[in-house]
Amino acid sequence: MAQKILIVEDEANIAQLLHLYLEKEGYETETAPDGGKAVELFRSYTPDLVLLDIMLPVMDGWSVLKKIRAESKTPVIMLTAKGELSDRVTGLENGADDYIVKPFETKEVLARIHAVLRRTVGEEEVSGEKRLSFDKLVINLDAYELLVDGKRVDTPPKELELLYYLASAPNRVFTRNQLLDEVWGFDYFGDSRTVDVHIKRLREKLEGISDQWSLKTVWGVGYKFEVAGL
């Protein structure tokens, strides 16, 4: 069965180009010309991936992304004409899986889609429980749930995935580029500030909870999840 892609783009020529190209590559597609229609189609069409423009009528891409993330982990690739670091960071912070800057080559779009879908399918096929427990901390990637001192703490998907990745290898130091590659799963062109932002937000949730573990900065290198006694 062909994988389904929802194209959310208000520029008709770009939407048509993506539709034709992706259909030719064997994908099934639907197109939404505005944010409101995008949310409707997402719920009725249940796509395997969403290509989501930022600048949209009715409801912008950020708002659509938040609605999608409130009910689903479906991969989302943001389309932006600005190409500014702030847009990329905002998209990643809010749960986007990748971004593409306009104008783009159709081959790049296809490569990004392949990479994101391959990673998503790969995660679904991995057997075994994805759950880590430490003193007053439970990181449950199966349920996408973070328990801190017995209480559920709302955590964006990428924050949880970053914490899980670090905690799955206690006391190992990872560079920002390693974390971007392993957690976000794509080559990040530009500043690695997005990792710092996610670490900062995780620390706000975890600071002072336990003296048995902590998120540590290794200056000039990167970050590690430090566990006492290991």
**Residue 191's pLDDT is what?**
58
Res. 88 pLDDT band, cuts 50 70 90: low
**Residue 83's pLDDT is what?**
55
Class of residue 99 by CB neighbours under 10 A (exposed 0-12, middle 13-18, buried 19+): buried
Between CA 152 and CA 162 the distance in angstroms is 17
Class of residue 181 by CB neighbours under 10 A (exposed 0-12, middle 13-18, buried 19+): middle
**Residue 120's pLDDT is what?**
64
Tell me the pLDDT tens digit for each residue of 32-78: 999 999 999 999 999 999 999 999 999 999 999 999 998 888 999 98
For 132, the token pair is 């880590």
User: pTM (2 decimals)?
Assistant: 0.57
Tell me the pLDDT tens digit for each residue of 124-172: 444 456 889 999 999 988 788 899 998 999 888 889 999 999 998 899 9
